[in-house]
Structure 1
Amino acid sequence: MIKETIITKEAPKAIGPYAQGIKAGNVVYTSGQLPIHPETGEMPDNIEEQTRMSLKNLKQVLEAAGANLQQVIKTTVFLSDMNHFAAMNQVYGEFFSENYPARSAIEVARLPKDALIEIEAVAMI
Structure 2
Amino acid sequence: MTQDASTAASRRRISSGSPFESAAGYSRAVVEGNWCFVSGTTGYDYATMTMPEAVEDQARNCLKTIAAVLHEAGFALSDIVRCRYYITESSSADLVFPILGEAFGEIRPAATMVVCGLIRPEMRIEIEVTALRR
Question: Do structure 1's residue 88 and structure 2's residue 92 form an aligned pair?
Answer: no
Question: Do structure 1's residue 41 and structure 2's residue 49 form an aligned pair?
Answer: yes
Q: In the TM superposition, what whole-angstrom CA distance separates every residue of 1:54-108 from its partner, at most 9, and x where no partner exists?
A: 1111111111111111110000000111111011111111212323111000011
**May I ask how many residue pairs the two structures share in their alignment?**
122
The answer for unaligned runs of 5 or more in structure 1 is: none
The CA distance in 2 between the partners of 1:62 and 1:107, in whole Å, is 25
Structure showing greater relative contact order (alpha-carbon pairs closer than 8 Å, 6 or more residues apart): 1
Question: Do structure 1's residue 112 and structure 2's residue 119 form an aligned pair?
Answer: yes
SS in 1 for 2:40: coil
**C-alpha displacement of 1:113:** 2.4
Q: What is the Cα-based RMSD across aligned positions, in Å?
A: 1.5
Question: Do structure 1's residue 78 and structure 2's residue 64 form an aligned pair?
Answer: no
Give structure 1 regions of 4+ aligned residues with deviation exceeding 6 angstroms: none
Greater shift, 56-65 or 29-38, is seen at 56-65
Q: Normalising to structure 2: TM-score of the pair?
A: 0.84
Contact 1:34–1:119 (CA under 8 A) maintained in structure 2: yes
Q: Which residue, out of 56, 63, 66, partners 2:74?
A: 66
Contact 1:8–1:64 (CA under 8 A) maintained in structure 2: no
Letter aligned with residue 118 of structure 2: L
The CA distance in 1 between the partners of 2:119 and 2:74, in whole Å, is 27
Q: Normalising to structure 1: TM-score of the pair?
A: 0.90
The answer for unaligned runs of 5 or more in structure 2 is: 1-8
